[in-house]
Structure 1
Amino acid sequence: MTENNQTQLGNTLWKIADELRGAMNADQFRDYMLSFLFLRYLSDNYEAAAKKELGKDYPILKDNDKRTPLAVWYEQNKADVAEFEKQMRRKVHYVIEPSHLWNSIAELAKTQSKELLHTLQDGFKYIENESFESTFQGLFSEINLDSDKLGKNYEERNKKLCNVIQTIAEGIKAFDKGQSVDYLGDAYEFLIGKFAAGSGQK
């Protein structure tokens, strides 16, 4: 990715953050934006490693199949899941369950699933506490998915998160074709700088 494209991606994500944060100030929304971006980074890295680990056994899905390849593999190879996760912990040093991968979360957001919030809560908890010893302990501690800033009740918070995640997913999609996972790290650093500077605060 060129430096110009990196800047464009960073500006796109910053614009998304500024438009979607609603009643939150920049510092409050920062934790949500960066957490979702980091989940995308972890997921991409994990899926790339899983594809390498499984080789020819890694499922190739049709374009209209909205499941993740790992979700299909888990379903078809239940007896081998424990050994696979053991290898992933040894080689990648963490595990993400198929339902907690970014692409799974983004699909829930796209379809406005009522289970998005619950799935996010379960996913963050799993990554922090069960993924691999203490590697990610407290990783998402700054993000409150039950905050009144997201909505007065579960339904409102779920709808808000669906909109936020869907918009982030669409914003990233325009830039990620053929890119290595490292470009997300560049975008992450860009946003940290923007938030630190306090730009765009209302």
Structure 2
Amino acid sequence: MAPTTKEAQRAELHKTIWRIANDLRGSVDGWDFKTYVLGMLFYRFSSENLTAYINKGEHEAGEVEFDYALLPDSDAEFALREVVAEKGFFVLPSELFQNVRKRAARDENLNETLERVFKNIEGSALGTDSEDDIKGLFDDLDVNSRKLGSTVAKRNQKLVKLLDAIGDLPLGRWEDNSIDLFGDAYEYLMQMYAANAGKSGGEYYMNRPWFD
């Protein structure tokens, strides 16, 4: 049964973050660990934010069974310009966090898949007002780093664990305004690891304009 009180949700959230830390222990630590968790957390947030936005529009238009996550990519591009203008970025259905996670354990090229997804998200803003906000957003989330493992297979095993752990975080539905839990995750990470000198990764993500 999912935790219902804010205190119980926060405790479960912190427990899951500790599990991620233990899974990555010995390979990714300190600032690098924060970067991986914040980057993947933001990938999930962006996917759920976008899906909720598109679904709401379609539901209000009468398509009550519409689910953007189930849409073929070829049918999704109708919304690209409008969505980028409103949200500042775009994610194809197949590249949403939840769909990449579903396929992750069977994807022998998961590192390449994630690299392509991150480039596509950043590329969706090229030539728009949000280009500077999106550019380089995932640069520090190096899915090919040897810190994740000495071989591609080992790196992908870590990435699967990371996707699963982030996907298991009890953040609720975006429609239920669960942004507070994203903030809690960020604050807890800051407590786990002292921020490096200069701007922290948390500031980089949390100050983005689409966190409204």
TM-score between both structures, scaled by the size of structure 1:
0.77
Opposite residue 122 of structure 1, the aligned amino acid is R
**Cα distance, 1:34 vs. partner?**
0.9
Matches of 1:137 and 1:3, distance apart in 2: 34
Matches of 2:136 and 2:148, distance apart in 1: 21
Residue number among 19, 22, 25 corresponding to 1:19 in the alignment: 22
Residue number among 17, 25, 33 corresponding to 2:37 in the alignment: 33
Matches of 1:141 and 1:91, distance apart in 2: 24
| 2:40 is aligned with 1:45 | no
Aligned to 1:107: 102
**Cα distance, 1:124 vs. partner?**
1.0
| 2:163 is aligned with 1:159 | no
Aligned to 2:63: 57
Residue number among 130, 133, 155 corresponding to 2:131 in the alignment: 133
**Cα distance, 1:17 vs. partner?**
2.9
Aligned to 2:112: 118
Q: CA offsets, 1:141-162, max 9 Å, x none?
A: 1121111111112222112211
SS in 2 for 1:142: coil
**Cα distance, 1:59 vs. partner?**
4.5
SS in 1 for 2:148: coil
Opposite residue 63 of structure 2, the aligned amino acid is D
Aligned to 1:63: none
Matches of 1:155 and 1:118, distance apart in 2: 12
Alignment of 1:51-200 (within 5 A): 51-55=55-59, 56-57=62-63, 59-60=65-66, 69-74=67-72, 78=75, 81-109=76-104, 111-131=105-125, 132-170=130-168, 172-173=169-170, 176=172, 179-182=176-179, 183-196=181-194
Q: How many equivalent residue pairs?
A: 184
TM-score between both structures, scaled by the size of structure 2:
0.74
49-58 vs 96-105, which moves further: 49-58
Matches of 2:47 and 2:115, distance apart in 1: 16
**Cα distance, 1:133 vs. partner?**
2.5
Matches of 2:132 and 2:78, distance apart in 1: 20
Q: Is the 8 A contact 1:17 1:29 kept in 2?
A: no
- Structure 1: which 5+ runs fail to align? 61-68
**Cα distance, 1:190 vs. partner?**
2.6
Opposite residue 128 of structure 1, the aligned amino acid is E
Opposite residue 19 of structure 2, the aligned amino acid is I
**Identity among equivalent pairs (%):** 24
SS in 1 for 2:162: helix
Matches of 2:136 and 2:12, distance apart in 1: 28
Q: CA offsets, 1:88-132, max 9 Å, x none?
A: 1122222111122110122123x4422322221011111223245
- Structure 2: which 5+ runs fail to align? 197-212
